[in-house]
Amino acid sequence: MNQLVLSARIAQAGTLRYTPAGLPALDFSLEHESELSEAGQARQVKVAVKAVAFGAVAETLGRQPIGSSWNFTGFLATPRNGKHPVFHIQSFVQD
């Protein structure tokens, strides 16, 4: 199963664009910070993630302010020309 749920804030957002098929698309980056327990020890976790959204999700995300926090759900995929996975957002709700 390839499903990711992440609480994060919108760090950067590109301009809403359209795929060759006419589908709205938005590239953006997310930042997450939390404290988790690993091997019985507290660990500070910080991560920056590249993300993309399509369709109505892209249009709605494009209207959200930079720095706003959300709970994102989606999956990871590596772009055809890329080396690193990108978080494909399928839904999001206010954190």
Q: What average pLDDT does range 70-78 have in this prediction?
A: 97
**Do the beta carbons of residue 75 and residue 90 sit within 8 Å?**
yes
Tell me what pLDDT residue 26 has: 98
**What are the sequence ranges of the domains in the chain?**
4-94
To the nearest whole percent, how much of the chain has pLDDT over 90?
94
**Do the beta carbons of residue 92 and residue 61 sit within 8 Å?**
yes
Best CA proximity match to 29, nearest among 43, 8, 46: 8
- Lookup result for tokens 């060759």: 20
Tell me what pLDDT residue 40 has: 94
**Do the beta carbons of residue 54 and residue 80 sit within 8 Å?**
no
Q: pLDDT by residue (tens digit) across 3-35?
A: 999 999 999 999 999 999 999 999 999 999 999
Coil, helix or strand for 59? helix
Select from 2.40.50.140, 3.40.50.2300, 2.30.130.10, 3.40.50.2000 the CATH code of 4-94: 2.40.50.140
Tell me what pLDDT residue 82 has: 82
92: which 2 tokens?
């999001």
* 29: Cα separation from own chain's centroid: 6
Q: pLDDT by residue (tens digit) across 29-53?
A: 999 999 999 999 999 999 999 999 9
What is the chain's mean pLDDT, rounded? 96
pTM above 0.85, yes or no: yes
